[in-house]
Amino acid sequence: GQQVMQIPQYQHVQEGEDFTTYCNSSTTLSNIQWYKQRPGGHPVFLIQLVKSGEVKKQKRLTFQFGEAKKNSSLHITATQTTDVGTYFCAGAVYNQGGKLIFGQGTELSVKP
């Protein structure tokens, strides 16, 4: 079945360092979404990518969707303590009626 793999599982950085998490799907995706979950909270939507090769930016966050629509990445420039949390990618496949599969997540900790 469809699988979405995400690495690394954990990342510890010093405040001001950059951070990247990678997402790979076993099947071609129709679109990919990214979510952030703060400790003790629920996932909150960040962004959606739909087009092959698409790049989107939100302030210090840069999201990319691969040309083959099977991989994606989230890059945070100059991390801040407010970036702490777990980042998830979630992929949907064409003709699967809205089935949304999440990666395992990358837990980011930021040391001040």
Partner 1 sequence: NAGVTQTPKFQVLKTGQSMTLQCAQDMNHNSMYWYRQDPGMGLRLIYYSASEGTTDKGEVPNGYNVSRLNKREFSLRLESAAPSQTSVYFCASSELGPWNTEAFFGQGTRLTVV
CA angle 46, 34, 4 (to 5 degrees): 170
22 residue type, one letter? Y
- Candidates 28, 50, 67, 111; binder of partner 1 (CB under 8 A) is 50
Token pair recorded at residue 60 = 């210090």
For partner 1, which stretch binds (CB under 8 A), given 13-21, 60-68, 72-80, 89-97?
89-97
Q: Which stretch binds partner 1 (CB under 8 A): 14-22, 41-49, 54-62, 72-80?
A: 41-49
Write each residue from 54 to 83 as x if it is in contact with partner 1 (CB under 8 A), else as -, in one continuous string: ------------------------------
Is 103 a binding residue for partner 1 by CB under 8 A? The answer is: yes
What is the rounded CA–CA span in Å between residue 22 and residue 43?
A: 18
Closest to 38 in 3D by CA, of 103, 82, 104, 75:
82
Q: Which amino acid is at 2?
A: Q
Supply the DSSP symbol for 36.
E
Q: Which residues bind partner 1 (CB under 8 A)?
A: 1, 6, 9, 30-31, 33, 35, 42-45, 48, 50, 88, 90, 92, 97-105
